[in-house]
Chains A and B, each alone.
Chain A
Amino acid sequence: MSFIDTLRSRWQEYRRPGYYENFDYAWTMTIDLDSCTGCGACVTACQAENNIPLVGEEELARGREMHWIRIERYWEGEFPNAKLNFIPMLCQHCDAAPCETVCPVSATYHNQDGLNAQVYNRCVGTRSCAVYCPYEVRYFNYYNHEWPSPLDQQLNPDVTVREKGVMEKCTFCIQRIRQAKDAAKDDGRRRVLDGEVQPACVQTCASQAMVFGNRNDSQSEVFKSMNDPRAYHVLEEVNTAPSVVYLKKVEVNG
Chain B
Amino acid sequence: MANQDISFAQINDDVVRSLVVTGRKYYITLAISILVTFTCFVGPWFYQLRYGIGAAGMNHPTVWGTYLASFIFWIGLSHSGTLLSAVLHLTNSEWRKAMYRSAEAMTLFSVMVAAMMVMVHVGRPWFVHWAVPYPNQMEMWPNFRSPLMFDVMAITTYMTGSIIFIYMGTIPDFAAVRDRTTGWRHHMYVLLSLGWRGTDTEWNRLHWAYTFLAVLIVPLAVSVHSIVSWDFALSVVPALHQTIFAPYFVVGAIYSGTAGIVTVMFVLRKYMKFEHLITKLHFDNLGKLLLVMSLLWTYINMVELFTGWYSESSEEYEALNFRLFGFYGPLYWEMILFCALAPLLLISKRFRTSFVPMLILSIVINIGMYTERFLIVATSLPRQYLPDAWGMYVPSLVEIAIMVGSFGMFTTLFLVFVKIFPSISLYEVKETLPEPQPKPQADSGAP
A residues apposed to B, CB below 8 Å: 59, 62-65, 72-74, 89, 98, 101-106, 122-128, 130-132, 134-136, 138-144, 164-167, 235, 238
Contacts and interface: CB of A to CB of B under 8 A. Distances in A.
Contacts of B62: 63
B142 A105 contact: yes
A128 B309 CA distance: 26
B387 interface: yes
Contacts of A102: 146-148, 234-235
Contacts, number: 142
B60 A235 contact: no
Q: Which 8 residue pairs of A and B lie closest in terms of their CB atoms, listed nearest first?
A: A125-B123, A165-B123, A142-B54, A143-B52, A63-B59, A164-B52, A72-B388, A127-B63
A123 B123 contact: yes
A159 to B, nearest CB: 20
A51 B124 CA distance: 21
A89 B386 CA distance: 10
B59 A64 contact: yes
B115 to A, nearest CB: 14
Contacts of A65: 60
24 contacts: A72-B389, A74-B387, A89-B386, A98-B235, A103-B146, A104-B130, A104-B149, A104-B152, A106-B141, A123-B124, A126-B121, A126-B123, A131-B381, A135-B385, A136-B386, A142-B54, A143-B52, A164-B52, A164-B123, A164-B124, A165-B52, A165-B53, A166-B124, A235-B385
Contacts of A73: 388
A108 B267 CA distance: 47
A144 B147 CA distance: 29
B70 to A, nearest CB: 15
Nearest to B237: A131
Contacts of A138: 63
B123 A104 contact: no
Determine chain A's interface SS by DSSP, over half rule: loop
Contact of A136 (B61, B146, B393): B61
B236 A104 contact: no
Most buried by A among B58, B123, B124, B148: B123
Contacts of B268: none
Contacts of B310: none
A63 B60 contact: yes
Contact of A135 (B63, B141, B235, B386): B386
Nearest to A71: B388
A132 to B, nearest CB: 5
Interface string B6-50: 000000000000000000000000000000000000000000000
A189 B273 CA distance: 84
B143 interface: yes
Contacts of B393: 63
Contact of A124 (B64, B122, B140): B122
A107 B234 CA distance: 18
Interface string B219-233: 000000000000100
B131 interface: yes
B391 interface: yes
Contacts of B406: none
Interface in B194-253: 231, 234-237
Nearest to B128: A124
Contact of A98 (B64, B121, B128, B236): B236
Most buried by B among A106, A127, A135: A127
B146 A104 contact: yes
A228 B60 CA distance: 33
B257 interface: no
Contacts of A122: 130, 140
Interface string B344-372: 00000000000000000000000000000
Contacts of B57: 62
Contacts of B439: none
Contacts of B385: 134-136, 235, 238
B392 A164 contact: no
B124 to A, nearest CB: 4
A128 B59 contact: no
Most buried by B among A64, A130, A131, A135: A131
B201 to A, nearest CB: 43
Contacts of B386: 72, 89, 135-136
Contact of A143 (B51, B122, B140): B51
Interface string B154-179: 00000000000000000000000000
A154 to B, nearest CB: 23
A142 B52 contact: yes
B53 A128 contact: no
A122 B123 CA distance: 12
A86 to B, nearest CB: 10
A140 B131 contact: no
